[in-house]
Structure formats: C-alpha cells, structure tokens
Structure 1
Amino acid sequence: MLSAEQNDLITRTGPGTPAGRLMRQYWQPAALVDELKGNRPIKPVRLFGEDLVIFKDDQGRYGLVGRHCPHRGTDLAFGRLENGGLRCAFHGWLFDVNGKCLETPAEPDNSNLCANIKQKAYPVVEKSGILFAYLGDGEPPAFPHFDCFVAPDSHTFAFKGMIDCNWLQSLEVGIDPVHTSFLHRFFHDEDPTKGYGKMFRDNTKDADMPMTQIMREVTRPRIEVDETDYGFRIVTLRQISDASTHVRVTNLVFPNAFMIPMSREMTISQWHVPIDDTKHYWYAIFTSFGKAVDKDTMRNQRLELYQLPDYIPNRNKSNDYGFDPHEQESETYTGMGADINVHDQWACESMGTIQDRTQEHLGTSDKAIIAYRKLLRQSLEKSGKGEKPILVVDEKEAASITGPLAIDGIGPVDDWKGYYQRSEAQKREAMSWKA
C-alpha cells in the first residue's frame, strides 16, 4: 500500500515531474511508421503531456516539433510539407526537423527574425516499425542490442493501441505473471496450428501441452525475480508433476517496457507510453526467430479490434468490452472474447484513470510489482541527484545488452534454471537470422 504522495510520484509524468524527467532520459515510442505512410506524412501526437506534431519531410527525415507555431500559436498539424520542412498554413513560417526556422516569408528581405526563432523539437529514429523520440536533455542514450531492434525488418511487426488510464497500471499488469491463470483463462484449448499471431495459443516448448491448459490448471506459481542490466528477469514456475515444471521467463525493461514469449517462435516487446496522466498507448514489436512475420495477417487480426487513425479499441467502456455472460459461463473467464488485449484493457481501465494505490493490498504473488516499484523509486532518487539511472547507456555498453531471454517450456523441477538457459541457447542456434 502506498501513500497518496508516493502514488503521485510514480504515476505523474508531465513536464517537470520527477517521473516525467526520469522517463524522458530514454527513447520513447511516439508513433508507428505506418502512421506516416501515404501522401501526407504528418500527425499530431500528445506525448507525456506535451502537444506535438510528428512528420516526415520531403527528404525522408523524421521530425517531432511543438504543435503550436511560435509566431501566433496556430496548429502546425495542418501545415504544409515542403521545401525541407513543415510550413505553417497561417503565415508560411517554415521549420525543419530540428526546429530551426528556415523562412518567415511575410517579413522584409533583410529581416533577421527567422535567425532568432527556434521551435521546440525532439530527435526521432526509426526502429523496427516504431518511431522513437528522445524528449530529454543532453545526448540521448544508445539503444540496447535487444532482439527486437537488431532483427531484420522481415522478422518484426509493430502495432499499437490506446488504453484509457494511467500508463503504470498497464505496465504492472504486463509484469504480473499470475493474472494469466485467471484473466486470460480459456475453458477450451484451441488448435495451436490455427493460433498464428495470437497470444497463448501455441503449445509450450518441449511438451504437447497448450499454454492455455497450463495457465488454467496451475494457478499458484512460484515466482523468482532476478536483477539484470536492463531491469529484471521474472521466472514463473508452475509445477506439472514431481519431475517436471512449466518455466516461463519474462522481462521488465526499465522504465516502461516488458519483453515476453508469445509463442515458441515469437516474442513481444511492449512499451506503455503516457499520452498524459490519464491515457496512454501500448506499442509492441513482435519478433520472429523462425520464419518471416506474416505482417498482413498480423495487421488484419489487430485491425479487427482497433479503429484508425488513432488506434482506439472497438471494445471499451462504452460497450462493456463486449461482455457476454453466457460466454463467461462456458468459454472464457472474463466473457469478453478471445483477445487478451481486451482482457488487459478492462483490467487496467477498471482500476480508474489513475489507480488509488492507497487502497490496495499486495500479496506474495505480487512479487514482481513490488520489485518494480522499488526499482522505480530508487531510479527516481538517482535521477533527482543527477546520477545516471539504469539502462541509460553509451554505444559500448549498449552492445553488451542483448536478448533478453524469453522462454515458455517444460523442464525438470530440479534444474529449471539450467533448462531455460539451454532452451535459450538452442533457440539462438536454430534462429533463422543472426544479430
């Protein structure tokens, strides 16, 4: 249980807040590359409480600038993309991707007004279908050499979705290994050969057991949390028999991401990024270690649930998330359909726009949540003192931060750690691409 002040400290991320300053020291997803495809690659975005515009100029460079023109405050989201930048439609002021004012065409020829104008701008880089932005001060950190960043484009797919609550609720759901036995429980197991692109539809590794069966039948797992150079590793053990145990390895990537196995072939790397304190987007990179990703299938599956252009979920509070009491009796634990994103969305949003953690009661199964909050508070303290927090790294350090390990399989009770290490080595030996 936290105090109200402690809850505010770890949830509020607007400009000038402690958590906002900390999270701005990392590259954060700002948009999908897909959102800037087409004839007019420009989109308004709200990120960490700031109103911005992301665009691609006529030279193929990405920019992220303040939404309101520094001349008289009009909306640059309606600007023109021309002459190497973004031009305001009000008086023609032109800005490049770095926020430099290139032209003030209504001013006299000898005016130096333009030279003294600088629009707010943040650097943007493309990684595996996501446009990441750095909103912090000074030089941005290097990207760790995670699988999702070093895999070829053919083996990754990116998507996003909006959730109508504070970012921390979703991050904490993502690192909670116990909720899958309840929230994502299916009373019937699907054919794994028909589960491409879907979470928990595959058989677990080294056994002919559907992941859904294991989650449903073993509800009191043992949880181990180990510190790493990127955050921590979560090992969840569900004992199947005297000799064998289900071993699921997931990861918290500080400050606001997790990386988990989706199937025997794919992993999910997912960030929860504040729009402001009461809304956020999840961004995910799906990485395949086997055959190339069928991006059309993956995209079409997800577009059944989300409406463009803002990736707003079709199932939401306004329609009770599609809740069907008859389905809840015999098909799924929630009665909200077969897509786990809907289940997670309901869980996160039903806590309120910002969860009141002064009223919660954590148990032994919340081990990873407790570990994350401790790491977050420690990092906030470091950041407040001007010290470098975890995973703010240079190129040399970043090259050594790889993986991370993500396994879902059945191994021996007395050597579960050796099992997941061997399984990871086998996966990398057999993978269809090499970093």
Structure 2
Amino acid sequence: MMSQEQNDLITRIGPKAPAGKLMRQYWQPAALVDELEGDRPIRPVKLLGEDFVLFRDEQGRYGLLDRDCPHRGADLAFGRLEGGGVRCAFHGWLFDVEGKCLETPAEPKTSKLCAGIKQRAYPVVEKGGILWAYLGEGEPPAFPEIDCFAAPGQYTFAFKGLFECNWLQALEVGIDPAHASFLHRFFEDEDVKASYGKQFRGASAGTELPMTKILREYDRPIINVESTEYGLRLIALRELDDERTHVRVTNQLFPHGFVIPMSTEMTITQWHVPVDDENCYWYAIFTSYTTPVDKKKMTDQRLELYELPNYTSRKNKTNDYGFNPHEQKHETYTGMGADINVHDQWAVESMGKIQDRTREHLGSSDKAIIAYRKLLRAEIEKVAGGQRPMMSLDADTARSIQGPGTMDGIGPTKGWETYWMEVDVARRRGAPWMAAAPADQTEPGSNVIHLPAAE
C-alpha cells in the first residue's frame, strides 16, 4: 500500500510541488488550434494549477501570458486584441506576445512607466493541431520525432475532453491492458467496416475477428512491461489457441502520454494534462497511415458527446453517465453506452478527485501501473537533484525518439515477438508521408525490410 505522503508526491502539480517541477520540464498542451479560430482568438487557460491568457495577435503570432494584468490585476482574458497585442479592458495597458508593455495610455506622454513593465510570457508552438506551452525555466526541450508529429496535417486529427479528476488516475487507465476486457466489453459485435473513428470497434490486424470479440472472450491477458528510452512498452498477449495469439502493443510516453493502436489504419497519441490537482484534459492526436483523416466525420462523432467551448462530456456524474440497467444486462458491461470515453470517464472520476491510493490493493495485472509509478518517482527525484529528466530532450536526442511501435493483431503463438514488429514496420513504412526504408534496412535490389531490434 501507498502512504498519503507518497500519493501526494506523485499527484500534486502546483509550481512548488515536486511533480509540478517535473511537469514544467516539458511542453504541455494548452489548447487545440481550433479553439483560437474565429473572430476573437483569445481564451483563458488553466494549466498545471496556474491561470493564463492564450491569444493570437493580428500578425498570427501566439502568446501565453499570466492572466492578471500587472497594473491592477484585472482579467486579460477579456482584453481587446489590437495594437499588436492584448489590451486590458480596464485601463488600456497593452502587451505583446512576449509580455512587453507597449502602451500605458492613461499615463502622461512623458511617462517611462511602460519601459519597466513586463508581463510574464511563455513560449507557444503549434504542433499536430495542438498549441503547446512551456512553463519552465531556461530553454524549452525539443519535440521527439514521433509519428503524430512527423505526419502532415491532413493525416492527423486533434481533439480533447475534460475529466474531473487528478491527471494520474486518468493516465493510469490508459496504461492498464487488463481493463479493456471488462470496462469496454460489448455483448454483440458490430460490422467492423463501420468502425471508422471508433476505438475497439474494428478488426485486429491479420484477421476479420472484431477486437470486441477478442477482448470479451479472452479476459486474462499475459502482460509484459519493458523499459524504453521514451518510457514503457506494454505488451498484452491473449492466447486464442496453440497456433494463434492476439498481440496488443501500446506505449507509455513519459511523462503523461501514451501511444495506442486505434485500428489497422490509425494510432492515438494521448496526453493527460493537469488543469490543476483535481481536473485534467486528455488531448489526443489521431494519426492515419493510409489516407487523409476525415476530420469532419471525426469531429462530428466526438461532438455527439462533448460540448463546446470547454469540451465537457454530456454524460457525466450529474446524469449517472447515461447509465441504463437494461443496457448493462443485454448490451454493454457498464450500461453507459458505446463510447469508451464515457466508460473511462466514469472509472477515473468514480475514484474521487484524487484517488486515495492508501486503500488500493494491486495485483499482477497492474504491473504497468507499478512500473510507471516507480519511473515517475525516480524522475521526480532527478529534477529535485537538479538533473534533466527522461524525455526532456535536446535536438540530437529528439531525433532518436521515433514511432513508437504499436500493434493490435492476431499472430503466431510462437514467434509473436517478431510478428508485431513486422506488422508495425510495414504499416509505418507504407504510409504516404513516411520516408522510404533506409538502404541499410533493405537487401540490394529488393524490397525486403530488415527489422530493427525495436522501434
């Protein structure tokens, strides 16, 4: 069991908290690019327990500033976008994307007050349909060259949703290979051809078997956890018979992300970003390896559940997440509809705002949770000791973090270790946006791919 002190160490993310200092070593998703579209590209953002205003100026530059005006503390999120920045609606003080004070119009013309005023500003970059902010000290790290960042915009789709709970319990559901056989169990299988944009509704690679059937009928996976340079690789094996095994390969992307297969065509790279200690947003980039993403269809599917402007779920604790006892008996394991985001939301929010881990009892199927918490504590200690943590990358190291490999398919019971890599490499190398296989991975005069030891 865990002590309360240990639980606080790995969950609290304020500026002075040990985990908060760790989180400030990384770029953090602050908003979707779409949120700043329209005629007023400015919005308040709460991130890692702090309040900011995010905006796009008249030149198209993005800025993130502390939300309180340094004059009298009024809310800059209600400011006017003009004059090369955001102007406070209280007295007209004007700040650019770097926090420089451009005007203090109520002051005498000879006043030099403006020259000594600077609002705290933070770097913002656009990547994968998300606006990323760096809240730490010093030079920001480089981004890894993972698939969701390497793919052109037409092959990716970004979305987000609010969970009213601590970020850690939200992340942990995503790195738990066992829960899908129960929480996301469907008693009947749909036509896999209608599964576009839906997780766990398609067929596993190499077969016409729906993922839902496999998860339902084989609910005791063997789980392997491997340490990697980016975090953890998780492999769940469900042996169908002596010849065939279902292999699902997912990844924990440190500090608070994961990469999972959505279908034979797509992966999901998802981050669980702390708003504060008791709320978080999941941000996801869906990456296609075949054809451009149907962004309208993906958006429409998700807006059936999520309400703008805050991306809150229509099914939530106020309406029991849409629970229906007849459905629970005949259609789904939870009785909460077909959208697995609702299932996850119920599971993590039902634990409380911050899960009391002093009361939990972990089993062997929780080995990924145990490994991640150990890794998290180690990296928190690194930062406390003045060291650079895992995945806070320089430009050279960032180029070495690629992929990472994912797979969901039926392979040979003997030889699954190379099977999953073959499927992943073939899919990634075959993507229209992926560079051709390097010369040292092919036979002279042939198209045979030599597999690396790991992705």
Q: Match of 1:284?
A: 284
Distance in 2 of aligned mates of 1:113 and 1:414: 74
Does the residue aligned with 2:334 lie in a helix, a strand or coil? Answer: coil
Q: Match of 1:432?
A: 432
Q: Match of 1:302?
A: 302
1:87 paired with 2:87, answer yes
1:155 paired with 2:155, answer yes
> Structure 2: which amino acid aligns with 1:233?
R
> Structure 2: which amino acid aligns with 1:354?
I
RMSD: 0.7
Q: Match of 1:265?
A: 265
Distance in 1 of aligned mates of 2:97 and 2:407: 41
Q: Match of 2:452?
A: none
Distance in 2 of aligned mates of 1:429 and 1:34: 30
Q: Match of 2:38?
A: 38
Distance in 1 of aligned mates of 2:253 and 2:406: 12
Distance in 2 of aligned mates of 1:101 and 1:420: 55
Q: Match of 1:275?
A: 275
> Structure 2: which amino acid aligns with 1:408?
D
> Counterparts of 1:6-17 in structure 2 under 5 Å?
6-17=6-17
1:116 paired with 2:84, answer no
Q: Match of 1:228?
A: 228
Q: Match of 1:71?
A: 71
Does the residue aligned with 2:263 lie in a helix, a strand or coil? Answer: coil
Distance in 1 of aligned mates of 2:34 and 2:324: 33
Distance in 2 of aligned mates of 1:103 and 1:395: 37
Pairs aligned (count): 435
Deviations 1:132-177 (A, max 9, x none): 1001110000000000011000000000111111010110000000
Distance in 2 of aligned mates of 1:110 and 1:146: 53
Does the residue aligned with 1:172 lie in a helix, a strand or coil? Answer: helix
Does the residue aligned with 2:276 lie in a helix, a strand or coil? Answer: coil
Distance in 2 of aligned mates of 1:113 and 1:211: 64
Does the residue aligned with 1:275 lie in a helix, a strand or coil? Answer: strand
Distance in 2 of aligned mates of 1:41 and 1:142: 26
Q: Match of 2:335?
A: 335
Q: Match of 1:21?
A: 21
1:399 paired with 2:399, answer yes
Q: Match of 1:369?
A: 369
Q: Match of 1:322?
A: 322
Does the residue aligned with 2:131 lie in a helix, a strand or coil? Answer: strand
Does the residue aligned with 1:133 lie in a helix, a strand or coil? Answer: strand
Deviations 1:364-397 (A, max 9, x none): 0001000000000000111100011101111111
Deviations 1:391-424 (A, max 9, x none): 1111111011100101001111121111111111
Q: Match of 2:125?
A: 125
Moved over 6 A (4+): none
Q: Match of 2:197?
A: 197
- Scaled by the length of structure 2, the TM-score of the pair is 0.95
- 1:429 to partner: Cα distance: 2.7
Does the residue aligned with 1:414 lie in a helix, a strand or coil? Answer: coil
- 1:313 to partner: Cα distance: 0.4
Does the residue aligned with 1:346 lie in a helix, a strand or coil? Answer: helix
Q: Match of 1:386?
A: 386
Distance in 1 of aligned mates of 2:421 and 2:262: 18
Q: Which moved more, 1:172-181 or 1:410-419?
A: 410-419
1:411 paired with 2:411, answer yes
Deviations 1:264-286 (A, max 9, x none): 00000101111111111110000
Distance in 2 of aligned mates of 1:242 and 1:140: 50
1:356 paired with 2:363, answer no
Distance in 1 of aligned mates of 2:145 and 2:430: 19
Distance in 2 of aligned mates of 1:124 and 1:195: 35
Does the residue aligned with 1:326 lie in a helix, a strand or coil? Answer: helix
Does the residue aligned with 1:170 lie in a helix, a strand or coil? Answer: helix
Does the residue aligned with 2:371 lie in a helix, a strand or coil? Answer: helix
Distance in 1 of aligned mates of 2:128 and 2:212: 29
- Scaled by the length of structure 1, the TM-score of the pair is 0.99
Instruction: Give the % identical residues.
Output: 67
Distance in 2 of aligned mates of 1:10 and 1:320: 29
Distance in 2 of aligned mates of 1:188 and 1:228: 37
Does the residue aligned with 1:73 lie in a helix, a strand or coil? Answer: coil
Distance in 2 of aligned mates of 1:86 and 1:257: 32
Distance in 1 of aligned mates of 2:425 and 2:47: 38
**Structure 2, unpaired ranges of 5+:** 436-455
- 1:432 to partner: Cα distance: 2.1
- 1:98 to partner: Cα distance: 1.1
1:218 paired with 2:256, answer no
Deviations 1:329-367 (A, max 9, x none): 010000000000000000000000000000000000001
